[in-house]
Amino acid sequence: MPDIANLELYVGGVWRDAASVRLLGPAEGGWEVGTDLAYGLAYAVDHESRNDAAALSVNLPVSLESTRGASWPPFLTDLLPQGFGRQELLRRLGMPETAAASADWRLLLAGAANPIGNIRVREAAERLMDHAANDRRGFTEDEVVGRNGEFTEHLARHGLFVAASSDDGAPRWASVIQQTVDATGVEEAAMRRALVDMVEPLRTLRDRAIDIGVDVEIMDMQRPTIEDIVVQLEAL
């Protein structure tokens, strides 16, 4: 297993090779292992001294100098899969679903391809693209909204549960959003706010339930319906 992860940043509408982070100790030590982080020469020259979206972190402005830390930089731990995503990826890597920090580096290299922000690990992105190139099929809207078993399995194979996500059902919510806009005529921005207000507490509760080993199947069945969202919208 390599001890270097190559980091890409989405800048100017494209993914760019930006930096690399090297472990200074055994990967089994997880996020507590020291690291050496350096921006690539070309990237550093193009974006030197920037600490905005072109940087890995506001605390790590683009520079020609490397940065050593006693543990992983915080932004790197944010790229790790969490909750359901972590368990599923561990299973696909042939590791115990309860594996702790000793699995973090391997998870990062395999699972940090679908970030919420603008940083991803190149090795994970290449792994995901290899899967996508060899596994293509379509699904009906009903299969997406109903979270059909084959559909969710397909998402898992393509890594759509990874990079700090926790089975958020993004394709399903996208469909619910559109259906609700069509049914009510409300502005999409207002509908999205209502959806976030309803889903975030459930998501947080679900993650905590997983952490303590609770069966969340019933919880997953209690997703808000379009009617629930309409009621929430009327209260805005």
Domain identity same for 10 and 123: yes
CA 86/CA 94 separation, integer angstroms: 12
Q: What is the pTM of this model?
A: 0.62
Domain identity same for 172 and 121: no
Q: pLDDT tens track of the chain, all 236 residues?
A: 789 999 999 999 899 999 999 999 999 999 999 999 999 999 999 999 999 999 999 999 999 999 999 999 999 999 988 877 788 788 888 888 888 899 999 999 998 887 778 999 999 999 888 766 566 666 676 766 665 566 666 666 555 543 334 444 444 455 555 555 555 555 555 655 555 555 555 555 555 555 545 454 544 444 545 455 555 555 54
Residue 49 lies in a domain: yes
CA 224/CA 196 separation, integer angstroms: 11
Residue 190 lies in a domain: yes
Domain identity same for 123 and 12: yes
Amino acid 27 reads A
Domain identity same for 122 and 173: no
Find the angle CA(91)-CA(70)-CA(36) to the nearest 5 degrees.
Answer: 80
Domain identity same for 116 and 188: no
Domain boundary among 127, 155, 188: 127
User: What residues make up the domain containing 172?
Assistant: 168-234
What's the total number of domains in the chain? 2
- Is 8 in contact with 25 (CB distance < 8 Å)? no
